Structure formats: C-alpha cells, structure tokens
C-alpha cells in the first residue's frame, strides 16, 4: 500500500481509503448487515488501509458506532487515520444544514462518543451551510484544531471561493470532493487550487455509484432499488447504451493488465494529479481485496490515451449526475 503525507500535519494516509456510508444502512445504498461491515473494516485495516472515512449522517450515527466498536474491540485506533464530518443535522427523515457554533460543538462531542476516541484525525465540514457565515464555522474549527482534539481540518463539497474564505480564518489541510472518470469538473479549478496550496484531496464516489464497475452492464446484476441508483440517468437511455460501449472498451484495456474494470478505474483515479487518496466502499472481503489490488501498478501511456479518448466521447454526451 502506498501512503501519502498530508501537508503541515503528521498524518500519512493510504492511497486507498475505506468509505463507510453503506455501514449506516440508511437506504441510500441499500441494507448492509452490521456483521459484514465489521468484518470489512477489520479486514481493510489489517491489509494496510489506514484511512477510514465516515460521517454522523451515515445512518444517523450508526456508521460511526460500528467503526468505534471495531476499533475498540481490536485495539486498532492507533492504526488508523479516522476522518469524520459535521454540519448536517436531522429531524426524523428531514436532513438539513446546521453549522451553528453550538451545534458544531455538540456534534464533535457526539462523534467522539460514538467513535470511542478522544481525538479525530481529520475533521471535515460536510457541506457549506448557506445560513451560517463561513467565518463562523471556520472559527469553531480553528478552536478544535488549536485545542488538539482534531489533528487536521478538512472541508467537503466546497468550491475554490469557499475554501479561500475558510482559509482566511482557519488552516485547511484536506478537501473531500466527488470525482471519477465520468465526473471530472474538479480538474478545472479545484485540483489545481489544492495542488498550489498543498491541500490533500480525498475523493469520493470514484466508481460513480458502482456504474464504473460495469456490473450493471455486463455481470448480470440488476439495477438496485436504492435511493441513489434506481433513477440514475447514467443507468437509463440514452446514456445507458453509450456507457456500456465505453466501459466494454475500458474492460478490454483492464484485461491487458490482468485487472478488473474496477481496478483500472480506481488506479486511474489514484494517479491523477492532486489526488491524495481514493475513498472506496466495500461490502465483503472480495471487494476489499479488489480495491487494495487497484494500486501499485501503472497504466501505459498508449492505454491512458485510449482511456481519455473514450472519456471525451462520454463528456460530449452531457455531464454526469449523482
């Protein structure tokens, strides 16, 4: 496993991180058995994945609880770089932005309790709150950082303008944006900004909700009836047929390296300029293994050129939507 340093911190994170939204079993990704979640987490850490990413909103705290239990049971807390978030609140089924300073302090305390730890390695503002000035939320994050209860400050889903404003009031060590072969808008401004300011970029949804694995096109899997994918435009015409054609050609490229399409996609993502770690979910041991074997090898330039030509065709068809 390759490890990459987060600038201005003592943290080194694995090139592949474990995303744990599915641990919440909240309907967005369908149901996942808690025993499988625990097994996947222990296996991933045992195989060298040290970046574990979660959030309170994943199952209304359930994902954090699962992680806290496993790390405590196996004595793994010091083996991982634990990343969680704040800024989304809920009232029944309603989810809303909430970065009021009082709520931020409450969220930190609740996450520490659920995760069974006294510090968080990377604490991230999950989304900007349109009703709270960036200065206010950045000020509270600065307090947490200065107190040492968090080791690095992160934001998620922030624009360059929002990051600039945040950095006027608080150090910024990491950004978490969506990024994948079909969704590349951060290449225009966000990634260059992160490179310039030495901000670690932890990208999520590298497999585009599972679409880039090819399983909904070639492997006989039905499109899940979960919230995220049952009406996904990339799984409906006219994009479905185009995506199938593009992914079939990429699958042929992957075979040249004795790799799966999933591994080709993750490898490509991991090696893009400015990307520090790729956050990938897993439901079982096989997926953990597949994710880990995605790194440690390189795609030849002629095959990269072929991939970019295919992605240009996809880009002309319209923007990817998650």
Instruction: Show which residues are catalytic.
Output: 58
Instruction: Select from 183, 97, 106, 171 the least CA-distant residue to 141.
Output: 171
DSSP string, 136-168: HHHHHHHHHHHHTSEEEEEEES--HHHHHHHHT
Evaluate whether 213 touches 294 at the Cβ level (below 8 Å): no
- Residue 316 buriedness (CB in 10 A; 0-12 / 13-18 / 19+): exposed
Is beta strand 120-125 parallel, antiparallel or unpaired with respect to 12-14? Answer: unpaired
What stretch of H or E contains 242?
Answer: helix 239-256
The tokens for 19 are: 């995303």
Is beta strand 81-86 parallel, antiparallel or unpaired with respect to 120-125? Answer: parallel
CA angle, residues 95, 101, 107, in degrees to nearest 5: 55
């Amino acid at each position: 496993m390759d490890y990459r340093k987060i600038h201005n911190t003592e943290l080194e994170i694995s090139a592949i991180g474990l995303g744990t939204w599915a641990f919440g079993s909240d309907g967005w990704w369908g149901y996942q058995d808690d025993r499988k979640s625990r097994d996947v987490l222990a296996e991933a850490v045992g195989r060298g994945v040290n970046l574990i990413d979660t959030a309170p909103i994943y199952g209304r705290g359930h994902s954090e609880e699962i992680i806290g239990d496993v790390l405590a049971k196996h004595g793994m807390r010091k083996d991982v770089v634990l990343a969680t978030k704040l800024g989304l609140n809920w009232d029944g089924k309603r989810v809303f932005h909430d970065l009021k300073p009082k709520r931020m302090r409450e969220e930190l305390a609740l996450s520490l309790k659920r995760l069974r730890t006294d510090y968080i390695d990377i604490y991230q503002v999950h989304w900007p709150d349109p009703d709270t000035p960036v200065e206010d939320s950045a000020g509270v994050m600065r307090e947490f950082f200065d107190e040492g209860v968090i080791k690095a400050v992160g934001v998620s889903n922030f624009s360059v303008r929002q990051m600039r404003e945040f950095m006027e009031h608080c150090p910024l060590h990491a950004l978490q944006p969506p990024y994948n072969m079909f969704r590349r808008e951060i290449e225009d401004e966000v990634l260059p900004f992160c490179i310039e300011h030495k901000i670690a970029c932890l990208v999520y949804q590298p497999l585009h909700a599972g679409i880039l694995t090819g399983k909904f096109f070639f492997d006989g899997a039905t499109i899940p009836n979960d919230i995220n994918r049952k009406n996904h435009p990339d799984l409906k015409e006219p994009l479905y047929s185009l995506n199938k054609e593009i992914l079939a050609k990429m699958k042929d490229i992957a075979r040249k390296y004795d790799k799966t399409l999933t591994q080709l996609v993750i490898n490509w993502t991991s090696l893009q300029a400015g990307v520090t770690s790729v956050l990938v979910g897993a439901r079982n041991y096989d997926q953990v293994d597949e994710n880990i074997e995605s790194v440690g090898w390189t795609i030849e330039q002629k095959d990269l050129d072929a991939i970019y030509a295919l992605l240009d065709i996809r880009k002309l068809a319209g923007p990817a939507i998650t």
